[in-house]
Amino acid sequence: MTDISAPRKGRPRSADADQAILAATRAALAEHGWGGLTMGDVATRAGVAKTTLYRRWPSKNELVVDAVAILFDELEIADLGSLRADIEAVVSQFADLLAQPESQAALLALFAESCRDPALRRRVRDAIIDPQKRLVHQGRAAAQARGELPPDLDPAEARADVDIIFDTIAGTVEHRMLISGEPASPEWISRFTTLLLAPLTALHIQ
C-alpha cells in the first residue's frame, strides 16, 4: 500500500509565490473583471512562470476562489466578554474587508460568475461560505459558556440556527456595502447587532 504520509517529490511550494499569485489575481479582477482575467496576466503580475501557476491552480475558477477564500480566512472572533461585543467586532472586520476595492471586485465577479456555473457555486460554498461558519460556532459557544445563550439540545436545530445566523450577518453586510453601496459605520453595526440579538435574547429569557 502507498504511504500517503510520505512527502511529495519535486520542489516544495513557495508560500511567497502563492501569496503573490493570489494578490495578483485580485488585482487583475479589480482591473479587468472576470472576463478579462487571464492566467497569463496573473503569472506576469506575480512574477512567476505560467507553468508554476498552472501547477498550483489548474483553472481560473480554482484560482479566483482561493484568492477570495484567503481573505476570509483572516477573519476571527475573539471572546471579548459579551455576545454583543463579539458580534460587533467580527462584523467590523467583515466590513473592513468588504471596503477594500480589490475585495469588492473579486467578490462581485465571483458571485456573478457562480450564478452561471453550478460547479463554481459549489466550490464557493465549500471553500468560502461553509468554513466561515466557524465564526458563528465559536461565538455561540463562547456565549453559551458565559450563560448568555442556552445550550444546544438538538444538533440538527443547532446547525440550522448557525446557517440562519451566518446568512443573516453575511447577507446583510454584503447587501449594504456591495449592493446598496452604503458604509457599515460603527453606529450602523451597533444598531444591526441590537436587532440581531433581540430574538436570541427573547428566546433565552423564555
pLDDT at position 206 over 60? no
Could you tell me how many helices (H) and strands (E) the chain has, helices first? 11, 0
Cβ(45)–Cβ(28) below 8 Å: yes
Locus of grid cell 512574477: 47
Percent of the chain with pLDDT over 70: 91
Q: Residue 19 sits in which domain range? A: 15-59
Residue-wise pLDDT tens digits, 157-193? 999 999 999 999 999 999 999 999 999 999 999 999 9
Q: What is the per-residue pLDDT for 15?
A: 87
Q: What is the per-residue pLDDT for 78?
A: 86
Return the higher-pLDDT residue of 10 and 13: 13
d(CA 53, CA 46): 9
What's the DSSP call for residue 12? P
Q: What is the per-residue pLDDT for 5?
A: 35
191 and 169 in a common domain: yes
Return the higher-pLDDT residue of 11 and 102: 102
24 and 77 in a common domain: no
DSSP for 149-192 reads SPPPS-HHHHHHHHHHHHHHHHHHHHIIIIIS-----HHHHHHH
Cell of 37: 482575467
Let me know if residue 1 belongs to a domain.
no
Let me know if residue 197 belongs to a domain.
yes
pLDDT at position 12 over 50? no
